Structure 1
Amino acid sequence: MSPFNLHPDRLFPADPGTRAIARALYEQVANLPIISPHGHTDPAWFADDQPWSNPTELLLAPDHYLFRMLYSQGIDLDALGVPRRGGVQPDTDPRAAWRLFASHWKLFRGTPSSMWLSHVLSSVFGIMIALDETSADHVFDLIGDALATPAFRPRALFERFNIELLATTEGAADDLAHHKAIRASGWKGNVVTTYRPDSVIDPEHDSFARDIERFAALTGENVESWQGYLCAHRRRRADFRAMGATATDHGFATAQTANLSLRACEALFAKVMGGRADAEEAELFRAQMLTEMARMSLVDGMTMQIHPGATRNHNARLFASHGRDKGADIPRRTDYVEALRPMLDLVGNERDLKIILFTLDETSYTRELAPLAGHYPCLKLGPAWWFHDSPEGMRRFREMTTETAGFYNGVGFNDDTRAFLSIPARHDVARRIDCGFLARLVAEQRIADWEAAELAEELTVGLVRKAYGLEAPVREAQAA
């Protein structure tokens, strides 16, 4: 078994002078609290606070960054313990799945997944040996022994990670039972929800009919009428706000918006609910609903997140067997300038509205997104996302957007992860990359050292609090 250590200067610039500046900046923000305003961790973990049973269940099976790489090399998801459609668990020995994973660890060389998991193994579990086929069983046992202790239960790790806020994401048809249980338990951990209504907005969603029925039952509204349907969204948004939500999230394939007349909305809605909408009309309905969501955010103050640009479930056979979110979502070209115009004509100049734009199409950073966010008061740039949540992706984001939009039209960092234990690792990478970028600006005499120090803290905690309507803890506000 080979020894392993994380280098303290990892990801900092290679030039010694610039690296020293980056190191000094990083020391100022390394221990600031983690604010995770958008992600997909399971709220049941924090509601029930039950121990995880083994490292495969915790680290491998939920993490599509890991198993998509293995799948690309011909490894079956069942062999990795990844649940099938409907949450059905395959008959797979967790230890055997972990051995298979460890024997292919070299596939992750140079990827963010390698950094994240290495950080988890060393910083969370104190494991200082490299993962491979010779260490697989030993690492599996070390993690399993740790998970059996109270210190490694979800709530204890939440507190150990110094998480100020963690947002999960639930659909409009979710009853929020886990979030209610968290609040009823008296635990002080700040776990909130996010309103993701895609399954009751997208007529082409495979759960649309089922979730519309649940949507109606939860709200008591007549969702067969256009006005009743909109009222149902307002009720659900209020339910989510009661569980701490400060944001909504929308993940359609495009960023298309529309601003139809009332009569056109009613006619289109009737087609959608009658199952008669074709693909073009389904797209138009999604576009109109993005505008309706912006209108509602202007009233209730919820920050609106738009995550377009993914062709979901590209692998039809895998979707049939394992369902959504199994690593088969593929980026696509995305238009923002014309797609957003109908919504921006209506609300673009509203100073109290916050709409955060994300992209998987990096060609849009300099051409569209940075100029849009650098002009419209309501728009902010979301951080490098998904396939670009990586050191080079983060550097490209800063280089392609800062000169046009500045830093203050951004929203800091969010990890957008299902893998709870990777959250500190992901935030650490972001802090290191930002400090390296700021250090270069200082070294080139483009900003002063005190400005870089101020920006480092803003990029870590300040901008995210502002963007998502969060307040600093009382102790921190008093110190300031």
Structure 2
Amino acid sequence: MSTPDTFHRDPARLLPVDPTVRAIALDLYARVADAPIISPHGHVPPSLLVNDEPYADPVALLVTGDHYVTRLLHAGGVDLADLVVGEAGRDARAVWRTLAAHWHRFAGTASGYWIEEELDGVFGITTPLGPETADAIFDEIVTALARPDFRPRALFERFGIELLATTDDPLDDLAEHAALASSGLRGRVVPTFRPDRYLDPDAPAFGDDVERLLGATGRPTDFAGYLGALEERRAHFIGHGAVSADHGIEEPFTVDLDAAEGARLFRAVLAGTADAAERRAFRGHMLVQMARMSVDDGLVMTIHPGVLRNHSTTTHARFGPDTGHDIPVAIEFTRGIRPLLERFGLERDFHLVLFAIDETTYSRELAPLAGFYPSVYLGAPWWFLDAPDAIARHRAAVTETAGFYRSSGFIDDTRAFLSIPARHDTARRVDAGFLARLVAEGRVRLPAAERVMDDLVGDIPRAVFKL
């Protein structure tokens, strides 16, 4: 029995409170609770599994690099420098104590829920985190991390990961993926082609990056050579198991230009003479070109739009990108994506997965698009929205129009390796609750709900990502 000094996870956590619906949900969840994890988009570095080195400490495991955690601490008054081990003499225990002192700020957040899931589910720690317990929990985690079964590869296999996709620069030689492919690891680790910096004239080093791309492939400095270089690198990724190309953009805007205009814009953006409208047109045209390449080579095209990167210039200057200050903006899909879909939306083997942080697009645009175009799939809520209530809102907004089979399956999209099982379990519980309500209301028969539940973690992501 729990005492005030311990907690135990409720087996029915995140499921509906109504006892009739909860009973149905528990049965649906039980069908998939231990199903393998398919993670076709994320940011775990392959070096973690290649090197298989023990985690240094609880901070390296649960704090460092997890912008869900660091951004909320920063909002509460903690300098990000105080979360860096070694900065100004800070050691890992001091950083951990900082997290514990501010733990009350995480109540009700997805990151707070995931960390408690990890502490209990991975380490068996049932003592609530706080200033009084920080040192004891720190020591317990350190002791566990010294054991072989807490090394990254052992955790990968314990988590039951069937497929893990990383996100990689187009010029990466992918040697680490080759090493993993021949290592005997149970489960696949595949790269993802992420070409944003080579496509966006407003990227800080666009000209230098294009020069590196052309140099690496021996292509001429013209538009045809540029496109050929991108195609060559995509082929390299496919040869190392890649299944998708990902595009993290601010605006889902596309424009289909003729070859002459595309070449003119390429010369202008490379010379630095293109104005804002021309740079925007070039970005939009390159999304169409990426779709063309996906039709040709079979890579699934995923688009993550609607985020203004590096909102705080001061923070970016001090700590670099991906440090918690990328902020969502309102976007529009229907007109912006139309030129791309006019050209390729009806192609039989083209798969386009559209993600959004702007929830207003779900029922107004994304569900109708996925409900018509055979190429379009609904990406799972991501980043700010991969939390229980947000996942449920997404299902409620899109299912009546597009159903379940036009969705991608859950995407964890994380750098925080230890949180992957907790995130997928969260989605499975929310989906079980949503389906259970439909069954209880007589809107879906139980056998159909059981099939959907199974397919959401298996056949659906396998089909969407061509696994």
> TM bucket by the smaller chain?
over 0.9
The equivalent residue for 2:100 is: 102
Contact 2:85 2:92 in 1 (8 A): no
Q: CA deviation at 1:403?
A: 0.5
Q: TM-score, normalised by structure 2?
A: 0.97
The Cα of 1:184 is off from its aligned counterpart by 4.4
Aligned partner (choices 96, 118, 121) of residue 119 of structure 2: 121
Number of the residue aligned with 2:155: 157
Q: Give the SS at the match of 2:457.
A: helix
Q: What is the one-letter code of the residue matched to 2:260?
A: R
Structure 1: how far apart are the matches of 2:161 and 2:167? 17
Secondary structure of the 1:305 match is strand
CA contact (8 A) 1:155 1:189 kept: no
- The answer on whether the counterparts of 1:194 and 1:248 sit within 8 Å (CA) in structure 2 is yes
Residue 186 of structure 1, CA deviation: 4.2
* Conserved 8 A contact 2:43-2:413: yes
Gap runs ≥5 in structure 1: 84-88, 471-480
Deviation for aligned residue 1:59:
1.0
Deviation per CA, 1:395-432: give whole Å up to 9, x if none.
11000000011111111101000000000000000000
CA distance in 2, matches of 1:235, 1:34: 31
Contact persistence 1:172–1:199 (CA under 8 A): no
Contact in 2 for aligned 1:102/1:132 (Cα 8 Å): yes
User: 2:452 aligns to what?
Assistant: 455
Cα distance in 1, alignment partners of residues 440 and 457 from structure 2: 21
CA distance in 2, matches of 1:211, 1:103: 43
Cα-to-partner distance string for 1:299-319 (whole Å, 9 max, x where unaligned): 111100000000010011001
- Matches of 2:184 and 2:266, distance apart in 1: 43
Structure 1 residue 171 corresponds to structure 2 residue 169:
yes
> Secondary structure of 1:304's match?
strand
1:132 aligns with one of 130, 133, 144: 130
Q: Tell me which moved more, 230-239 or 417-426.
A: 230-239
Asked if the contact 2:370/2:378 (under 8 Å) is kept, the reply is yes
Aligned-residue CA RMSD in angstroms?
A: 1.3
Match of 2:8 among 1, 5, 10: 5
Asked if 1:35 corresponds to 2:18, the answer is no
Aligned twin of 1:203: 201
SS at match of 1:410: coil
Partner Cα distance (2:446, 2:252) in 1:
38
Counterpart of 1:254 (choices 251, 255, 267) is 251
Aligned-partner Cα distance in 2 for 1:279–1:408: 39
1:317-336 alignment runs, 5 A limit: 317-336=314-333
Could you tell me which residue of structure 2 aligns to residue 23 of structure 1?
A: 26
- Note the C-alpha offset of 1:17: 0.3
Cα offsets for 1:267-293 (capped at 9, x unmatched): 000011112222222221111111001
Read off the aligned partner of 1:410 and give its amino acid letter.
S
Matches within 5 A, 1:164-243: 164-222=162-220, 224-243=221-240
Gap change, CA 1:93 and 1:82, over 3 Å in 2: closer
Number of positions where the alignment pairs a residue of Structure 1 with one of Structure 2:
464
Kept after mapping to 1: 8 A contact 2:163/2:190: yes
Instruction: Report the identity percentage.
Output: 49
- Take 1:218 and 1:154, find their aligned partners in 2: how far apart are those partners? 32
What is the alpha-carbon distance in structure 1 between the residues aligned to residue 175 and residue 212 of structure 2? 14
Quote the Cα distance in structure 1 between the aligned partners of 2:95 and 2:174. Answer: 32
Which residue of the partner structure matches residue 398 of structure 2? 401
Matched, 1:55 2:66: no
Q: 1:82 to 1:310 in 2, by over 3 A?
A: farther
In structure 1, what residue type is equivalent to 2:272?
Answer: G
The one-letter code of the counterpart of 1:309 is: G
Residue pairs, 1:430-469, within 5 angstroms: 430-469=427-466
Shift of 1:351: 2.1
Secondary structure, in 3 states, of the residue corresponding to 1:380?
strand
SS where residue 185 of structure 1 aligns?
Answer: coil
SS in 1 for 2:99: helix
Instruction: Give the 5 Å matches for 1:328-367.
Output: 328-367=325-364
Structure 2 unaligned segments of length 5 or more: list them.
none
After superposition, what is the alpha-carbon deviation per residue over 1:354-383, rounded to whole angstroms, capped at 9, x for unaligned? Answer: 000000110011111111110111101001
Question: What is the alpha-carbon distance in structure 1 between the residues aligned to residue 13 and residue 102 of structure 2?
Answer: 23
Separation (CA, whole Å) in 2 of partners of 1:90 and 1:444: 59
2:61 & 2:324 partners in 1: Cα distance?
A: 17
- Give 2:415's match in structure 1, choosing from 412, 415, 418: 418
Q: What is the CA–CA distance in structure 2 between the aligned matches of 1:73 and 1:119, rounded to whole Å? A: 23
- 1:89-138 C-alpha deviation (Å, 9 max, x unpaired): 66421110010011101101001111110110001011110001111111
1:322-352 C-alpha deviation (Å, 9 max, x unpaired): 1111110111111101001111110111121
Task: Report if aligned partners of 1:57, 1:81 keep a CA contact under 8 Å in 2.
Answer: no
* More moved, 206-215 vs 315-324: 206-215
Offset at residue 81 of structure 1 (A): 1.3
SS in 2 for 1:430: helix
Distance 1:121 1:284, change over 3 A: same
**What residue in structure 1 maps to residue 426 of structure 2?**
429
Q: Distance between the aligned counterparts of 2:400 and 2:85, measured in 1?
A: 43
Task: State the AA in 1 paired with 2:441.
Answer: E
Amino acid in structure 2 at the alignment position of 1:68: R
Kindly provide the CA deviation profile for residues 184-234 of structure 1, in whole angstroms up to 9, marking residues without a partner as x.
434344111100000111111123234323323332222x21011111111
Which range is displaced more, 200-209 or 441-450?
200-209
CA distance in 2: counterparts of 1:281 and 1:371, whole angstroms: 30
The verdict on how the C-alpha distance between 1:187 and 1:345 changes in structure 2, with shifts beyond 3 A counting, is same
Q: Is the 8 A contact 2:181 2:188 kept in 1?
A: no
Q: What SS class does the counterpart of residue 100 from structure 2 fall into?
A: helix
Distance 1:452 1:90 in 2: 55
- The 1:90/1:309 distance shift into structure 2, 3 A limit, reads farther
Indicate conservation of the 8 Å contact 1:306/1:357, yes or no: yes
- Secondary structure of 1:469's counterpart equals coil
Q: Is the 8 A contact 1:42 1:418 kept in 2?
A: yes
Q: What TM-score, normalized by structure 1, do the two folds share?
A: 0.94
Residue 127 of structure 1 aligns to a residue whose secondary structure is: coil
Alignment partners' CA distance in 2, 1:265 and 1:451? 49
For 1:265 and 1:329, locate their aligned partners in 2 and report how far apart those are by CA, in whole Å: 30
| Secondary structure of 1:170's aligned partner | coil
Could you tell me how far 1:149 is from its partner in structure 2?
1.2
Give, in whole Å, the separation in 2 of the partners of 1:368 and 1:82. 45
Residue in 2 that maps onto 1:69: 72
